[in-house]
C-alpha cells in the first residue's frame, strides 16, 4: 500500500504488544481501524490510547473460531464500508518438548497461530479484492524458518504461516493485493508471560524475565518496521537485528545452525539443573 490515509486496517490481537503498537501508529497515518482481540480489557486500553480522530471499531474475537472471524469481517464492512488491509497478528506460545506437550496444548497454539491466520486471510480476501490497493500482512517469526527447542507447536505453525504467505504471493500475482510475510526476532511483549508451560510459576516468571532481557526490539519499533514494509510492498519483512543475523546464519549453515541452537539450549538447561 502506497498511502495509509483514510485506509481501513483490520488487526487481530490488537489488545497488546505489536498489535496495539500497530493500531496506534496506523491511526497516526490517518487510517481507520477495525480491531479485534480475545482480551476485552486489552482492546479497550488500545482504543483509549488512540488519540487521533479516526474511526475505531473493536470486537472480541477468538481467531481460532472460524465463525467469529468471518462475522468480524462482515461487521468490519458494515461499520467501515470497505477494508484495505488485514493484519493477522494474534499469537500465543507454549513451553514444552514435543514428547511432553499434550495434544490439547499443541492444538491451542496451532489453532491460533496457523488457523487464526488462515481464517483471517480467507474471511477478508473477498473484501480486499474489491479495493484498488490492498494488503495482507501475516505475522510469522524467525521461528518460521528456524525452530527452537520447547517451542515446537509455535515453530510448526509459523513455518506454515510462511508457506501460506508464499502461496498467497504466487496466487495473488498481478492482482491489487500485496502480501507481506513478517518475521520478527525477539520483541519485548507479553508473549512469553502468557505462554503455557508445565513447570512452576516461579520458573515461568524467571523465563519471562529472561525473555524481556533478550528481546531487544520494542513493540513500537517492531510496528514501525512492519508499517514501513507495508508501504514498500515488501514480500518479506524481518524485524530486529537479531532476525537479520538469524536469517543469515540459517542460510549459510542450514543444518549446523539448528544443531548449534539445540546444543546451546541443552547447555543452558544443564546450568539451571546444577
Ligand X SMILES: NC(=O)c1ccc[n+]([C@@H]2O[C@H](COP(=O)([O-])OP(=O)(O)OC[C@H]3O[C@@H](n4cnc5c(N)ncnc54)[C@H](O)[C@@H]3O)[C@@H](O)[C@H]2O)c1
Task: Compare residues 18 and 85 and give the one whose CB is closer to ligand X.
Answer: 18
Q: Which of 29, 82, 154, 198 is catalytic?
A: 154
Nearest distance, CB of residue 274 and ligand X, angstroms: 28
Q: Could you tell me which stretch among 9-17, 125-133, 171-179, 258-266 binds ligand X (CB under 6 A)?
A: 9-17
Asked if residue 227 binds ligand X (CB under 6 A), the reply is: no
Query: And the C-alpha cell for 205?
Result: 516468571
Query: And the C-alpha cell for 264?
Result: 546451546
Residue 154 a catalytic site member:
yes
Nearest distance, CB of residue 92 and ligand X, angstroms: 5
Asked if residue 121 binds ligand X (CB under 6 A), the reply is: no
Asked if residue 181 binds ligand X (CB under 6 A), the reply is: no
Asked if residue 18 binds ligand X (CB under 6 A), the reply is: yes
Asked if residue 120 binds ligand X (CB under 6 A), the reply is: no
Nearest distance, CB of residue 126 and ligand X, angstroms: 21
Asked if residue 189 binds ligand X (CB under 6 A), the reply is: yes
The footprint of ligand X on this chain (CB under 6 A) covers a number of residues equal to 31
Nearest distance, CB of residue 96 and ligand X, angstroms: 17
Query: And the C-alpha cell for 156?
Result: 510448526
> Which residue number is nearest to ligand X in terms of Cβ?
17
Binding mask 80-99 for ligand X (x = CB under 6 A): ---------xxxx-------
Query: For the chain, how far is it from start to end, CA to CA, in angstroms?
Result: 53
Task: Compare residues 6 and 209 and give the one whose CB is closer to ligand X.
Answer: 209
Asked if residue 226 binds ligand X (CB under 6 A), the reply is: no
DSSP state letters, 218-248? EHHHHHHHHHHHHHTT-SEEEESHHHHHHHH
C-alpha gyration radius of the chain: 18
Task: Compare residues 6 and 74 and give the one whose CB is closer to ligand X.
Answer: 74
| Residue ranges that bind ligand X, judged by CB under 6 A | 12-13, 15-19, 37-39, 42, 61-64, 89-92, 112, 139, 141, 184, 186-187, 189-191, 194, 215, 219
Amino acid at each position: 500500500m502506497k498511502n495509509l490515509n483514510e485506509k481501513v486496517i483490520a488487526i487481530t490481537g490488537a489488545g497488546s504488544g505489536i498489535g496495539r503498537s500497530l493500531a496506534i501508529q496506523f491511526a497516526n497515518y490517518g487510517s481507520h481501524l477495525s480491531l479485534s482481540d480475545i482480551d476485552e480489557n486489552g482492546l479497550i486500553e488500545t482504543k483509549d490510547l488512540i488519540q487521533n480522530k479516526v474511526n475505531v471499531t473493536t470486537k472480541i474475537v477468538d481467531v481460532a473460531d472460524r465463525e467469529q472471524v468471518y462475522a468480524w469481517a462482515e461487521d468490519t464492512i458494515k461499520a467501515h464500508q470497505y477494508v484495505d488491509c488485514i493484519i493477522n497478528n494474534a499469537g500465543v506460545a507454549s513451553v514444552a518438548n514435543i514428547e511432553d506437550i499434550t495434544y490439547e496444548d499443541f492444538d491451542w497454539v496451532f489453532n491460533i497461530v496457523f488457523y487464526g491466520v488462515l481464517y483471517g486471510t480467507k474471511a477478508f480476501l473477498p473484501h480486499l479484492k474489491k479495493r484498488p490497493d490492498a494488503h495482507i500482512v501475516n505475522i510469522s517469526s524467525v521461528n518460521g524458518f528456524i525452530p527452537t527447542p520447547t517451542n515446537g507447536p509455535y515453530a510448526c505453525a509459523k513455518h506454515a504461516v510462511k508457506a501460506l504467505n508464499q502461496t498467497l504471493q504466487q496466487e495473488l500475482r498481478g492482482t491489487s493485493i500485496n502480501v507481506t510475510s513478517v518475521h520478527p526476532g525477539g520483541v519485548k511483549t507479553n508473549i512469553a508471560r502468557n505462554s503455557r508451560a508445565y513447570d512452576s510459576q516461579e520458573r515461568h516468571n524467571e523465563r519471562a524475565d529472561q525473555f524481556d532481557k533478550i528481546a531487544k526490539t520494542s513493540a513500537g519499533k517492531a510496528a514501525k518496521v512492519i508499517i514501513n514494509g507495508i508501504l514498500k510492498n515488501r514480500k518479506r519483512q524481518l524485524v530486529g537485528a537479531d532476525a537479520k543475523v538469524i536469517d543469515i546464519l540459517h542460510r549459510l549453515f542450514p543444518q549446523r545452525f539448528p544443531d548449534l541452537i539445540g546444543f546451546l539450549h541443552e547447555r543452558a538447561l544443564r546450568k539451571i539443573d546444577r
